[in-house]
Structure 1
Amino acid sequence: MAKQSGDKPRKVVAANKKARHDYAIDDTFEAGLVLVGTEVKSLRMGRASLVDGFVDIDAGEAWLHGVHIPEYSQGSWTNHAARRKRKLLLNRVEIDKIERRVSEKGLTVIPLSLYFVDGRAKIEIGLAKGKKSWDKRHALAERQATRETEQEVGRRLKGIPD
């Protein structure tokens, strides 16, 4: 499970909202990122996209691919490539667990959110299994039904007639 950062404030830079719609998230982990200076400055400006991102385990190391962190506007020749692969900082036990579950169950690892905790960039990754289109429709219908029941309960508590 992901380590809980307790009551420390999180400054969320980017969230992959579509991931929870397209995938059934099984387990989450919090990982650090190895970044260069202009990437950190670009993230502090609140610019990043996790939409096409995924995590790959290669030679016992976790790598983040496809995440777009745009070039820093005031950067010079030291600027970074926008879609380069980035190393994730995870414990050996966590890497082994992720690798085992991906190979056994056919899961994939996707980034869910990118944020700062105590000035350090962290990423929440999730072990996920793709949803079928009927799963997505079922989830939407279920969410709409709960919203309607909550609205009806609220109306009755306020004494508003139907």
Structure 2
Amino acid sequence: EVKSMRARRANLEGAYCRIDADELFLYGMHVAPYEQGGHAGHIPQRRRKLLVHKREIEKLRGRLTMRGYALIPLQVYFKNGVAKVQLGLGRGKKKGDERESIRRQEDLKEARAAMQRRKG
């Protein structure tokens, strides 16, 4: 998986972190199988345990107990040959923001449909 991450074949789209039994896990990160390696037993979206000090987990747990906060992975990078994940603490969208983004998506969908009708 690390070689695949070095080749920038990891996708954090829709990924999130959760604390389970005093351990931090990363869910939903897709890591493509390494092309030169064997594909046997590779699960692209398995949960991955993140190595974090207990103090940091307790600090994050305190912040996550506030309603509406989520722990989101921002980027994967390498430092001294070790893969690291930068995490961010964020709030979910408000109802108005969500409606606005849905409206934008529908507008794009309608525009694409109009272009398809015009072509064909």
1:29-40 aligned at under 5 Å gives the runs 39-40=1-2
- Provide the residue aligned with 1:110 in structure 2: 72
Shift of 1:106: 3.0
Percent identity over paired residues: 43
Are 1:42 and 2:4 matched, yes or no?
yes
- Unaligned runs of 5+ residues in structure 2 are 102-120
Q: Is the Cα contact below 8 Å between 1:113 and 1:123 reproduced in 2?
A: yes
Q: What TM-score do the two structures reach when normalised by structure 2?
A: 0.74
Q: 2:16 aligns with which of 31, 44, 54?
A: 54
Given residue 50 of structure 2, which amino acid in structure 1 is its aligned partner? L
CA deviation vs aligned residue, 1:90-119 (integer Å, no higher than 9, x gap) = 111110111121113331000001111111
Name the SS for the 1:128 alignment partner: strand
- Provide the residue aligned with 2:109 in structure 1: none
| Aligned positions, number | 98
Moved over 6 A (4+): none
Q: Is the Cα contact below 8 Å between 1:109 and 1:125 reproduced in 2?
A: yes
Q: Is the Cα contact below 8 Å between 1:72 and 1:79 reproduced in 2?
A: no
Name the SS for the 1:105 alignment partner: coil
Q: Is the Cα contact below 8 Å between 1:42 and 1:70 reproduced in 2?
A: yes
Shift of 1:77: 5.0
Shift of 1:89: 1.0
Shift of 1:131: 3.2
Given residue 131 of structure 1, which amino acid in structure 2 is its aligned partner? K
Structure possessing the higher relative contact order (Cα contacts under 8 Å, 6 or more residues apart) = 1
Q: What TM-score do the two structures reach when normalised by structure 1?
A: 0.56
Q: 2:32 aligns with which of 70, 76, 84?
A: 70
Name the SS for the 2:12 alignment partner: coil
